[in-house]
Every structure is written in C-alpha cells, then in structure tokens.
C-alpha cells in the first residue's frame, strides 16, 4: 500500500505535536479558554550554556535545558537526555508528555525534562563526568526533592545520576538522594528501576493483547531500539511468550521470522559490542523494521519514527510506544483509519517514572522495598491506568491516545481549578 498523505506544517516538531495532542483532548473536555491557555504552555524553561574542560586541556561550550511544564499535582519530574539533536522544542514536548504521563498513572508529580546537546559517545568517561556535574550545577536553581527531580533518559543512566546526585549533595553540604531517581542501589536507588520501563511496556502489551484477542504465545514482535527500554522490553516480552522477530539499534537491525532468542542475543552483544551478525538473522534497516509483517510493533528509540510517510505501510495490528513521541499526529490518524491500535507513550513507557516515584518515596522515608513488592505495585498501577484509558476511549469512540489524554488532562485541569489561580 502506498501513502499519499501530505504531512501537515511542522509535522515533525515535537512541541507542536504535543500541543496538537493536548488540543484534541481539551476540545472534548471543553476546557475553558483560561485553563486551556495555562495547560498548553510550559511553566518554566531554563537554557544554560556552560564550559567543560576536555581531556586535551581545551575548553568547549555546551548548551543544555531544563523545562518544567506543570507542577500543579506535585514536584516536576522527568529525565535528562544527552543527544546531539536535542533542542528546546523537543525538551518542551517531552516535559508536557511527562505531565500527562504522571497524571495518567496518578502519581503526585508534574512534568519536566532536560537535555544537553552533545554526543556522549564522542566524550571520554571523565569528560562525561565533568559535563554531567557542571550541567547539574547549572540547573540546581530548579532541582530538589520538593521541586524538580531528574532521572535517566536517552543516553543517560545510573552513573550519570550518581554524579548529579553527588554534585547536588556537595553543593547542599549533605546527601540529597531524593533529588534524582534512577540512581545506583548503593546510594538510594530502587530495586526494579533499571528494568521498570521495559517491564511496563510488557505489562501494557499483555493488557492490549487481551483486549484485542491476540494470543501472546502466537504473536510476533518487532522492537526498534536496543537501549534500556528496547532491550528490557524484548527480554521480558520473550519471557512472556511473544516471538520477538526483529530488533534494531543505532547501527541497524536484525530479523528472523522464526524468532530471536533474546538471552542469547544479549550475550552476543556483550561479547561483540553489537547486535549485528547474530546467527540465523538477516540485516534490516531501522526503517524496514517498522514495516515488517509482525503482530506487535514496539518503537523504543526516538520521536517521529512513524510518520505520514510510512504509517500506510505499517503491518502490525498493535503498536506499543516504548519511546516518547514515536508516532506523529498525522501518522496517528492514518493508523486509526487502518484499524491499528496504538498504546500511547504516556501509558506504555510510564513504568519508568512509576518506579522513579517509588524510589523517591523510599529515599524520603529511608526505608527500602523488595523487588517483588515494587513489581507488584507497578503492575497494579499500569493495569488500573490501562483500564481507565480503555474505558475513556470506548466512551468517546476515540483512539487510546485520546482516551489516555482525557484521563490525564482532566486530572491536571481539575487540580488547577481546585487550587485556583495565584494570587
């Protein structure tokens, strides 16, 4: 099938797309013009430019952002990404999506995001540490357990969170573990946090399969991305009985209609440093992977992967958005017309921030839970949120994304209305 749909203006600007998604929900909820104006803008955006000393002794300037979209339901919450193509508009969109995500799973946070324009692969470990620490220092005006709590995102992980936690603590003069989540276990991290996003993807994929009458034991899956989200999703979906047939990372992908043994692939990657040339598979590009004949597609890389240009060729019956913003609004309409179900990012990848919430609670109480407890609580929250999203979508005969937005935006709108406008 070919697609003739022309992309709308600014179709790949994530911020315009985020506002468009919000507007669709605001229309149905009939928000007052005032409330709509409040919620469709970000509350604070901080742009910082800072020097980092390279190993050569030279100094290079970097640009970074921390954006708080909304703090009505609690402290701002959201990750930090290190990526050469990140931008203020991208970070604003990601911050808004965090607000809806936290509201949908009903945890007491607002939404934030941050980023540094850099290619971490081109930096040494010591340069990366200096960059992380200096960036943390630049944004300390916003960060803290009661105000704004960063976490990992694209190209950032537990080590970078440890450096950021240490920097904030050194500047405060005492340890502030609850200022950052996704930390290593040794310094107040939570059991289950590294696998939480992929676990959440798997939980909601199983819920969606149940509703659509897809038997996981018979279903094939393609996963785009093999970072924290993609690799854990592939592993846990494999464990849950799905046949994972395709996987990709930055360098391209691999495909086997008979299925890929994910534990063996993980071993292959830790030996060779790549997923390429895994026995029994053929190479595919990232683009081709999206269009493979599978039942379930899990985009778990970056934004704007499913667009008006390829949505007509997606063959999966179910898309579970492990990444933030992988489907543009134009593509959403095409998928909806074609009867393809999309479990939206704000639910599908909410496992990460949900366990971040558990981590923050544990840090504040200095009382730590076992992994079984964490995973049970996570499953309960995601299953309940899935049901609420599903019922809203059915009640209004709209997509799951719009159903999810109706739940989330209403919660933030109600909280805003009851708090009132200061002064």
Q: Which residues are catalytic?
A: 113
352 binds ligand GLU (CB under 6 A): yes
* Cα–Cα dist 35/420, whole Å: 10
CB 136 within 8 A of CB 112: no
Decide whether 188 or 352 has the Cβ nearer to ligand GLU: 352
Task: Write down the least CB distance from residue 113 to ligand GLU, Å.
Answer: 7
Q: Which of 228, 304, 349, 375 binds ligand GLU (CB under 6 A)?
A: 349
* Cα–Cα dist 229/326, whole Å: 13
* Cα–Cα dist 409/402, whole Å: 10
Task: Write down the least CB distance from residue 83 to ligand GLU, Å.
Answer: 12
CB 42 within 8 A of CB 95: yes
Using alpha carbons, select from 344, 414, 374, 363 the residue that is nearest to residue 165: 363
Decide whether 104 or 292 has the Cβ nearer to ligand GLU: 104
User: Which three-class secondary structure state does DSSP give residue 68?
Assistant: strand
In the window 166-225, what residues touch ligand GLU (CB under 6 A)?
Answer: 181
Which class for 106: exposed (0-12), middle (13-18), buried (19 or more C-beta within 10 A)?
middle
Q: Where are the alpha helices (DSSP H) in 74-157?
A: 88-104, 125-138
Task: Write down the least CB distance from residue 352 to ligand GLU, Å.
Answer: 4
Task: Write down the least CB distance from residue 100 to ligand GLU, Å.
Answer: 11
CB 230 within 8 A of CB 202: no
153 binds ligand GLU (CB under 6 A): yes
Task: Write down the least CB distance from residue 154 to ligand GLU, Å.
Answer: 8
Q: Which stretch binds ligand GLU (CB under 6 A): 48-56, 270-278, 304-312, 349-357?
A: 349-357
User: Which three-class secondary structure state does DSSP give residue 89?
Assistant: helix
Decide whether 229 or 342 has the Cβ nearer to ligand GLU: 229
- Indicate the DSSP class of residue 5: P
385 binds ligand GLU (CB under 6 A): no
Task: Write down the least CB distance from residue 264 to ligand GLU, Å.
Answer: 28
Q: Which stretch binds ligand GLU (CB under 6 A): 27-35, 74-82, 362-370, 373-381?
A: 74-82
Binding mask 299-338 for ligand GLU (x = CB under 6 A): -------------------------x--------------
Decide whether 77 or 134 has the Cβ nearer to ligand GLU: 77
Q: 420: how many CB neighbours lie within 10 A of its CB?
A: 7
Which class for 407: exposed (0-12), middle (13-18), buried (19 or more C-beta within 10 A)?
buried
Decide whether 232 or 340 has the Cβ nearer to ligand GLU: 232
86 binds ligand GLU (CB under 6 A): no
CB 77 within 8 A of CB 98: yes
Decide whether 114 or 403 has the Cβ nearer to ligand GLU: 114
Q: Which of 64, 78, 198, 299 binds ligand GLU (CB under 6 A)?
A: 78
232 binds ligand GLU (CB under 6 A): no
Which are the contacts of 7, defined by CB distance < 8 A and separation ≥ 6?
Answer: 307, 308, 309, 328, 330
Q: Which of 64, 74, 75, 79 binds ligand GLU (CB under 6 A)?
A: 79
Decide whether 79 or 177 has the Cβ nearer to ligand GLU: 79
Which are the contacts of 5, defined by CB distance < 8 A and separation ≥ 6?
Answer: 308, 311, 312, 330, 334
Q: Which residues bind ligand GLU (CB under 6 A)?
A: 77-79, 151, 153, 181, 324, 349, 352-353, 356
């Amino acid at each position: 099938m070919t697609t003739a749909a022309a992309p709308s203006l600014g179709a790949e600007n994530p911020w315009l797309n985020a506002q468009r998604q919000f507007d669709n929900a605001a229309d149905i909820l009939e928000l007052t013009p005032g409330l709509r104006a409040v919620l469709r803008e970000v509350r604070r955006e901080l742009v910082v430019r800072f020097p980092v000393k390279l190993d050569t002794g030279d100094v290079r300037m970097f640009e970074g952002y921390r954006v708080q979209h909304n703090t009505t339901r609690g402290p701002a919450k959201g990750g930090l990404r290190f990526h050469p193509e990140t931008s203020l508009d991208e970070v604003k969109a990601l911050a808004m999506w965090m607000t809806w995500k936290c509201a949908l799973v009903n945890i007491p946070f607002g939404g934030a995001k941050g980023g540094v324009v850099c290619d971490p692969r081109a930096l040494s470990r010591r340069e990366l540490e200096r960059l992380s620490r200096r960036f943390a220092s630049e944004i300390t005006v916003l960060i803290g357990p009661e105000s704004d709590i960063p976490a990992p995102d694209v190209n950032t992980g537990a080590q970078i969170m440890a450096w950021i936690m240490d920097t904030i603590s050194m500047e405060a003069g005492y340890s502030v573990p609850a200022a950052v989540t996704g930390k290593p276990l040794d310094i107040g991290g939570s059991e289950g946090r590294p696998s939480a996003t992929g676990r959440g993807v798997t939980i909601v994929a199983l819920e969606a399969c149940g509703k659509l009458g897809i038997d996981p034991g018979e279903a094939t899956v393609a996963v785009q991305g093999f970072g924290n989200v993609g690799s854990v999703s592939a592993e846990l979906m494999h464990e849950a009985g799905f046949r994972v047939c395709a996987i990709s990372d930055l360098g391209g992908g691999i495909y086997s209609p008979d299925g890929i043994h994910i534990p063996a692939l993980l071993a292959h990657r830790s030996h060779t440093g790549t997923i390429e040339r895994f026995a029994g598979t053929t190479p595919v590009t990232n683009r081709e992977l999206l269009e493979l004949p599978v039942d379930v597609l899990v985009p778990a890389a970056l934004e704007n992967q499913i667009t008006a240009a390829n949505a007509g060729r997606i063959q999966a019956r179910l898309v579970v958005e492990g990444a933030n913003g992988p489907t543009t609004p134009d593509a959403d309409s095409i998928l909806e017309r074609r009867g393809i179900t999309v479990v939206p990012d704000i639910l599908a990848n909410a496992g990460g921030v949900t366990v971040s919430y558990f981590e923050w609670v544990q840090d504040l109480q200095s009382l730590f839970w076992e992994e079984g407890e964490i995973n049970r609580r996570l499953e309960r929250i995601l299953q309940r949120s899935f049901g609420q999203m599903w019922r809203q979508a059915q009640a209004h005969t709209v997509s799951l994304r719009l159903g999810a937005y109706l739940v989330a935006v209403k919660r933030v709108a109600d909280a805003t209305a009851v708090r009132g406008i200061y002064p």
